[in-house]
Chains A and B, each alone.
Chain A
Amino acid sequence: MNGADRIAAAFSSCERRAALMPYLMGGFPDLAISLAIANGYVDGGADLIELGVPFSDPLADGPVIQNAGSAALAAGATLDGVLTVASEISARVPVVLMCYSNAVLARETERFVSDIAAAGVSGLIVPDLPLEEAPATAESCASAGVAFVPLAAPTSTDERLAQIGAAAQGFLYTVAVAGTTGERGDDSDYGEVIARVRAHTSAPVALGFGISTPQQASDAADAGADGVIIGSRLVREAAQSDDPASACASLVEQFAQALR
């Protein structure tokens, strides 16, 4: 089964509820614990896992994920190390890798994509690779059977949404608010952005950026999201807890309950 099919199967097995897609910073606080956290996510009810590759200059990320990335790098994280987490965890749920474009270029696009495919990665998200810059990466993904997952934003014009929606493989990563990743207050209105994106794609619409409470996750699902991505809230839990794996597992469980 190729990556796109595997992701599609994960979404359809959720039937009428939204898929829970927690984000994990690979190698944070170290490689072994990040693998334990990933297993905790699956135990808690994750349907797919978004696995972050730490980067020195993450433009789309707020302070929690920035700091986790820096700490992971300081602890010796490498792409190959993060891919060992992908290898293990992709046996349980589909893994979508999230990394910045310079990581892809550093290994050369084709080899990068074939390496992540070999590690069992089903999809690739590159937050600083808009459609205009994406053709080479999307092409390599297509030939390696990895779903290339583009991002849509509240600021995207209808014309861009049409192009992004048509290009989406696996799912369409929909950015809930203009801004960087990070926890936000409870007053978010997700309906409009989901409806706009939905009109332009047949792929599942997954909402991320700022969703940090079970209530917000449930609101996102009620607003029509096919998948809900939880990032900074979980990474903060991993940073603050003495036992990150079980703390994250029980937090994911709370999100999972909110989506049932």
Chain B
Amino acid sequence: MSNAGVEHRFGPYGGQYVPETLMPALAELEAAWVSARADQGYQTELARLLRDYAGRPTPLYLAERLSAVAGRTIYLKREDLLHTGAHKINNALGQALLALRMGKRRIIAETGAGQHGVASATACALLDLECVVYMGAEDIRRQAPNVQRMELLGATVVAVEVGARTLKEAVSEAIRDWVTNVADSHYIIGSAVGPAPYPAIVRDLQRCIGDEAREQILEREGRLPRRVIACVGGGSNAIGAFTAFVGDDDVELIGVEAAGEGIESGRHGAPLTVGGRPGVLHGSLSALLQDDEGQIAEAHSISAGLDYPGSGPEHAWLRDSGRATYVAVTDSEALAAFERTAQLEGIIPALEPAHAIHFALNVPSDSELDLICLSGRGDKDLAEVLKLLGRS
């Protein structure tokens, strides 16, 4: 049985910087993944759930009015149309099935925007697994509808009250739970971050986004897009969208991070864009917001899903190797794109992909064909956005 493709390192990035207590569990997870992905039964069951339950394949939508504004053709990959409203369900279903194979019936998850928490709670309800979701208290405040959904689905939502009380602290607390309950629990990490083998597993479970989109755009346009654009917090929808195109040298890959209140303000979530010394957070070495002593900085973004000081290790390597480019879009720009997409296309995007849409609409380019990953829908953001726009 081959472990090929379960990378521990992406260039210098990645690794397994975790307490010894977890190392055997990571080895068990890797072995289970290698066995599952080669197993017809697992693949058939996952494919069935993704198709009949989650709603794959998702449409590739030609956004004509956005295209008119941008002056080029823009396609949206409609992950927002999936069950639970975001791409997170792809990974949650795959990992929940994996937990079943490992005989682990208690699931731990973290969530920022709430989308991964909802996806995990959903998969656990479906597969009759116990689900505990860690969520920063600040995120609980700004994503209240998702908290209600998780609880309705039978999950226990644990408020994390330390630090900035957002995604970083939620991941830390989820890892601490896993260290304590590793014998009977599986941690479904929600992004392409964490210790190996997580970044590789999450990428493999999300790469259906790009695999489908590549086939769809070839069918529609008879050619590949000039650019694939996706927002990046930890980077799971982006790595999912990019992977199918990595070998297509003429396709530009662009990750859009949160510039928050502006890169120069220091209040942002754009470690890949600003560069600097890599560091270790949540078990892997990657681009990171930190001070000279190695203390992790607090990120800031209007969108809870991008409010994270770290980044997936494969993104750091795609950046360094020159294969992908990372840029950042501010809170107010994302808000404008949120509103504009709603009004022009009748689609309310999540604030996270609104960052990617803003970039495509407003930053000049000689591209004539863009593919944007619309990673989730914006219902969860309505209350927060209306408040910020002064309409509630």
Interfacial residues, chain A to chain B (CB-CB below 8 A): 55-57, 59-60, 62, 66-67, 70, 73, 78-79, 100-107, 127-130, 132-133, 150-157, 160, 164, 175, 178-180
Contacts and interface: CB of A to CB of B under 8 A. Distances in A.
A104 B283 CA distance: 14
A127 B20 CA distance: 8
B290 interface: yes
Given A104-B294, A106-B292, A179-B179, 10 more contacts: A100-B280, A101-B17, A101-B280, A107-B294, A128-B17, A130-B20, A133-B16, A152-B20, A175-B19, A180-B180
Nearest to B8: A132
Interface centre among A59, A79, A105, A156 (most CB of B within 10 A): A59
Contacts of A155: 20-25, 182-183
A156 B23 CA distance: 8
B290 to A, nearest CB: 7
A178 B182 CA distance: 8
B183 A133 contact: no
A175 B293 contact: no
Given A128-B283, A130-B16, A180-B180, A56 B295 contact: yes
Interface centre among B18, B182, B296 (most CB of A within 10 A): B18
B179 A132 contact: no
A103 B279 CA distance: 9
Task: Give the top 3 A-B pairs by smallest Cβ distance, nearest first.
Answer: A106-B294, A102-B294, A153-B21
B106 interface: no
Nearest to B15: A133
A129 B195 CA distance: 12
A106 B21 contact: no
A65 B336 CA distance: 43
A35 B183 CA distance: 39
Interface stretch (B45-53, B74-82, B89-97, B168-176): B168-176
B168 to A, nearest CB: 7
Contacts of A60: 19, 179
A127 B21 CA distance: 10
Contacts of B281: 57, 102
Given A59-B19, A103-B294, A128-B18, A178 B179 contact: yes
Contact of A56 (B22, B163, B285): B163
A154 B175 CA distance: 17
Given A56-B163, A59-B175, A155-B25, A178 B280 contact: no
B32 to A, nearest CB: 16
Interface string B275-306: 00111111101000010111110000000000
Interface of A is mostly: loop
B24 A79 contact: no
A100 B21 CA distance: 15
Contacts, number: 115
A154 B181 CA distance: 12
A187 B316 CA distance: 46
24 contacts: A55-B295, A56-B296, A57-B172, A59-B19, A60-B179, A67-B162, A101-B17, A102-B279, A102-B294, A105-B277, A105-B279, A106-B279, A127-B19, A128-B18, A128-B280, A128-B283, A129-B17, A132-B15, A133-B16, A150-B20, A155-B21, A175-B19, A178-B179, A179-B179
A67 to B, nearest CB: 8
A130 B180 CA distance: 17
Contacts of B290: 102, 106
A107 B182 CA distance: 32
A249 to B, nearest CB: 30
Contacts of A152: 20
A175 B176 contact: no
A179 B294 CA distance: 24
B31 to A, nearest CB: 12
B19 A128 contact: yes
Interface centre among A78, A105, A107, A150 (most CB of B within 10 A): A105
A206 to B, nearest CB: 14
Nearest to B22: A155
B7 to A, nearest CB: 14
B179 A73 contact: no
Interface centre among B16, B25, B278 (most CB of A within 10 A): B16
A57 B15 contact: no
Contacts of A101: 17, 280
Interface centre among B16, B179, B277, B281 (most CB of A within 10 A): B179
A105 B280 contact: yes
Contact of B168 (A57, A102, A104, A105): A57
Given A155-B24, A155-B182, A178-B183, A102 B16 contact: no
A107 to B, nearest CB: 8
B35 to A, nearest CB: 18
B24 A70 contact: no
B20 A156 contact: yes
Contacts of B283: 59, 128
B21 A154 contact: yes
A130 B23 contact: yes
Contact of A180 (B24, B179, B278, B282): B179
A13 B21 CA distance: 31
A231 to B, nearest CB: 14
Given A59-B172, A180-B180, A175 B295 contact: no
A62 to B, nearest CB: 7
A105 B279 CA distance: 7
B172 A132 contact: no
B176 A59 contact: yes
